[in-house]
Chain A
Amino acid sequence: MSNDHSGRIRMMQGNEACAEGALVAGCRFFAGYPITPSTEVAEHLSVKFPKIGGRFIQMEDEIAAMGAIIGASLTGMKSLTATSGPGFSLKQENIGYACMAEVPCVIINVMRGGPSTGMPTLPAQMDVQQARWGTHGDHGIIVLSASSAQESYEQTIRAFNLAEKYMTPVILLLDEIVGHTTEKVIIPDESKIEIVNRRKPAEKPKDYLPYRETEDCIPTLAPFGTGYRYNVTGLCHNETGFPTNDNKIIGKLVHRLVKKIVMHADDIIEVKKTMLDDAEIGIFAYGSVSRSARSAVLKCREMGIKAGLLEPKVLWPFPKKEVLAMARKVKAIIVPELNMGQMAREVELASRCAVPVHKLGRVDGNPIDPREIVDMIKGVV
């Protein structure tokens, strides 16, 4: 979409772009709780939704907001919540519920520094592992990342599409810089935007099984009130949706929840490559840091150092193949990120020790300057 320059041009903040993306994606339900630096998503939708019949509600806390969007999604509404670190922690139990009950919904987390209340107004990328493993129990999850207002808009649309397609919660991670930077966004013509809606049951209510075993591992949940009376639970359940203690069925269910994402990884994973073909130094960077990394690549090229950049647009499932391919071509990998190496570890694992992986972590609330990346590359070379 970013290559299509035929659209309307608007200036917006990353957070506002998320709200606009949600509207275009067909989202009509938002429940949230105020928290810096994500609140503009809620504020924007509180203005937009009532005008178009969408439903906005400010809940009593983040736990309630997460519960409300799951409830609304079960009535067939595309539902969204937005939060930041501490609120993201509070949502985890119900995110697990959405994984288990396979209820599509989108959670935007505009990352700030932690642990705890941490740095409400300063950028960080400290929630990338929490996004993967924050809720208890084995499960599959989809986590997207955005590095600009443009990507915030596009990735919010993609988050809804993936949620509806795979019947799963999808998390979109921004960091405070992306959420609060106002910049150009090209809004394409709506007819050119792909919108995915969840499957509807083909069978009659009496033959309906919400969690029927299918080849693609994706269940078909009928919206409440449409004549399909079934049970939804966070307990391990069988195809009918009722709790079970049958070990065979439980094992199959948990396997399927993980497999549902893994088997479709190629469809889900998206990376952007910059000057990687002949690169000797590979950079792995996401979110606002990837913008510094892009500058660093250009700077290195000016100096005659062959640097290249791999930007994952999807953090989970992790782009293992793409990282391994890069590791086999370059002499070293640099991972700049606003945490102490949360994704660097994944890069190390995926590169199977083919090359050294150098961490460039920052946790003091400052962004990473392109010069720091260049300096590290010069040191490595």
Chain B
Amino acid sequence: MFNYLEYIREKNFPHIWCAGCGDGIVLKAILRAIEKSGISLDETVMVSGIGCSSRTPGYVDMNTLHTTHGRAIPFATGVKHGNPKLNVIVITGDGDATAIGGNHLIHAARRNIDITVLLYNNYIYGMTGGQCSPTTPTGSRAATAPFGNIEPPFNTSGLAIAAGASFVARADVYNVANCEKMIAMALAKKGFSLVEILTPCPTAFGRRNKMASPVKLMEWLRDNAVPAAKWKKMTEEERRGRMETGVLMDVDKPEYTAEYEKLVTSLRTGK
């Protein structure tokens, strides 16, 4: 039996997330993945921005840094570059990472700095009350898209891949075993890694989109988040509106802090 109490700040519970919010499911998957990866809590820093998902660090017993909106990745870059021995995990959401923090996301991926970004995608700005985000599907309703969203959404994982991330995966909280596995793989990766985790927001997204109950949203994930093996056999028609889950990119390339260290060594030794 996994003892979550060893990893959480119990006095801050129950957490602030709404009934049926998937953020708690992700948090538990993260804690199990951390245990599996064997990293020390003393040497792990969890950095977040602003939003529902960004409240995660408050609940885990590590070095935790809750920063400004969209800026978790720059703060994390400072932590990692300042002390490369630390394991740095960024918790962020679709609004935090792909709207206000989009520039930082692509540049950290390009730099390939050894940070693990866990991006909770719930398709909406939850904390501010359900405004549309860059991942809100076209046609979905939001507090600021009362007649349905007319904008196309980002393919967030695709964005990270295009920007140069060395590991990118997509997971969802219905298929929770895969979610844990993807996080563990991302933690183990030396380089910039990102897991886009599809997680339900019944309060701000579901209610406006005929999926008010948490169970409905979980069923939607079950039916639309498709494991890679099955995805490969699907026709274009079947894929429409659905998301592939699993590892989407895994490549080894030079990591930023290691490259910097090489530069320091070569300048000092003249080699």
Contact = CB atoms under 8 A, between A and B. Distances in A.
Interface string B30-62: 000000000001110101000000000110011
Interface stretch (A74-82, A137-145, A262-270, A336-344): A74-82
Q: Which of A59, A67, A77 has the most CB of B within 10 A?
A: A67
Interface residues of A, number: 44
A69 B74 CA distance: 9
A63 B71 contact: yes
A304 interface: no
Interface string A76-95: 11010000000000000110
A232 B260 contact: no
Contact of B71 (A67, A73, A227, A232): A67
A72 B79 contact: yes
A271 interface: no
Contacts of B58: 231, 233, 242-243
B65 interface: yes
A70 B78 contact: yes
Given A93-B68, A225-B63, A75 B74 contact: no
A68 B81 contact: yes
B64 A230 contact: yes
Contact of A71 (B57, B64, B79, B267): B79
Given A225-B43, A235-B66, A60 B83 contact: no
B181 to A, nearest CB: 26
Contacts of A71: 47, 65, 74-80, 82
B178 interface: no
Contacts of A324: none
A67 B263 contact: no
SS of A interface (majority) = mixed
B192 to A, nearest CB: 14
Interface stretch (A48-56, A182-190, A358-366): A48-56
Contacts of B64: 229-232
Interface string A301-324: 000000000000000000000000
Contacts of A226: 42
Contact of B41 (A60, A229, A231): A229
Given A50-B260, A50-B263, A75-B83, A67 B63 contact: no
B224 interface: no
B144 interface: no
B75 A229 contact: no
Interface in A38-56: 50-51, 53, 55
Contacts of B103: 60-61, 64
A233 B57 CA distance: 10
B68 A72 contact: no
A232 B57 CA distance: 10
B122 to A, nearest CB: 21
Contacts of A70: 67, 75, 78
A232 B47 CA distance: 9
Contacts of B263: 50
Contact of B82 (A63, A65, A75, A93): A75
B107 interface: yes
Contact of A59 (B77, B82, B267): B77
Contacts of A242: 12, 58
Contacts of A134: none
Interface string B150-168: 0000000000000000000
A326 B140 CA distance: 67
B55 to A, nearest CB: 9
B77 A64 contact: yes
A286 interface: no
B83 A234 contact: no
Interface of B: 12, 41-43, 45, 47, 57-58, 61-68, 71, 73-83, 85-86, 103-104, 107, 260, 263-264, 267-268
Given A51-B264, A55-B260, A233-B66, 12 more contacts: A29-B81, A65-B74, A69-B78, A71-B76, A71-B77, A72-B79, A74-B79, A224-B63, A224-B83, A227-B42, A230-B64, A231-B66
**Lowest 10 CB-CB distances: which A-B pairs, in order?**
A71-B78, A67-B74, A72-B82, A68-B78, A75-B82, A64-B74, A72-B78, A71-B75, A233-B66, A60-B107
29 contacts: A29-B78, A29-B82, A50-B260, A59-B77, A63-B71, A64-B74, A64-B104, A68-B74, A71-B75, A71-B82, A72-B81, A73-B78, A74-B65, A76-B82, A79-B78, A97-B68, A224-B63, A225-B45, A225-B63, A227-B42, A228-B63, A229-B63, A230-B64, A232-B65, A232-B66, A233-B66, A234-B67, A235-B66, A243-B66
